[in-house]
Amino acid sequence: MPVSLVSLTDLAALDFDEILDVRSPAEYAEDHIPGAISLPVLSNEERARVGTIYTRQSPFLARKIGAAIVARNAAMHIETALADKPKGYRPLVYCWRGGQRSGAFALILSQIGWRAETIEGGWRSYRRLVQEALYGSPWPAPVVLLDGNTGTAKTEILGLLRAAGGQVLDLEGLANHRGSLFGAMPGGQPAQKGFETALAMARAALDPLRPVVIEAESSRIGHLNLPRGLWEAMKAAPRLELSVPLAARAAYLARRYRDVTDDPARLLATIDGLAPQHPRARIEAWRALAAEGAFEALAAGLMADHYDPRYGRQRARFEDRPTRRVTLDGLDPGALASSLPGLMAEIDALARL
């Protein structure tokens, strides 16, 4: 009997060895149940071919051709990815809507003797749970925003807070993006649906009785949009604002963005992307600093003339929110570690407001 999911936390309580996603690689890449292994029974091209035959020629012919392809791919998976599975192996199998692909594969596995089951409604049923969590329910825990201009080590501080037992939501980590024009990360960003799945799972793990610390962001990180409910909770939240001297921030950014500065073509292209917003002489000055390898000076110039003014304008929209300010003189590991107890005390004070 297919397994019915009623909450995002159901999967963790189920007694299965693995979750197998038998959709096409493109479907898996866009979004999948966390931890699922991709074992497609139809490739991207095969799925497109069967779909075209179904709509343009004959549903019967499409099902016959599709069954043959599924059988061949199932045999390949059994001989490779599943070859070492023991007699008591128990997989949970799903496709897009819990229909023919997952049913066919689970039947074959069951004939071997494995206890294979499917998810009722497939990925679509899981996706509905994600959407309900993010778009149909209020944000579950009180939010405290970690604010501050570019280069104040907010993301690193989030990691220190988590290691110290704090409740943290790292949106930039989930989005695989550092939240600025220079912020692209290796591997690129997930699709919007994949980001939402990761966010919904992080949300489900929150303790509603404890504050969750989130870095102050715009409603968009790279090409990904934050759900409205989360964004509204962030806008209404009290803020811990970090103040750090420009020189210390510039030195920190020169270290943190070494992947950008090690790629001169990418660095110059990103600077050129700012041209519509700045005088030509300023862009040329930034380009010259990049060419000289004067990365701290470049970071200082970008912050003074581009990022800080924009942060200031955005922050002014939330001046009525409760705010506590902390000054950090340096951002080296030792300075950050020594500042942690004070930061945690300020967060606790904001959470009680």
What residues are annotated to the active site?
Answer: 95
Alpha carbons 72 and 104: distance in angstroms, whole number = 12
Helix intervals (H) in the chain: 10-13, 25-30, 44-56, 59-79, 100-112, 122-135, 154-163, 171-175, 192-204, 228-236, 246-256, 258-261, 264-272, 280-292, 295-302, 308-316, 333-351
* Contact (Cβ atoms closer than 8 angstroms) between residue 350 and residue 144: yes
What is the rounded end-to-end Cα distance, in angstroms, of the chain? 50
Alpha carbons 2 and 6: distance in angstroms, whole number = 13
The CA distances from residue 3 to 94, 95, 123, 239, in Å, are 10, 13, 12, 43
Q: What is the DSSP string of 296-325?
A: HHHHHHHIIIIIHHHHHHHHHTTTTS-EEE
- The token pair at 287 is 């380009």
* Contact (Cβ atoms closer than 8 angstroms) between residue 137 and residue 228: no
Q: Is 293 left (phi over 0), alpha (psi -120 to 50) or beta?
A: left
Alpha carbons 344 and 53: distance in angstroms, whole number = 61
Q: Give the CA count within 13 Å in the CB-facing half-sphere of 261.
A: 19
Alpha carbons 212 and 345: distance in angstroms, whole number = 14
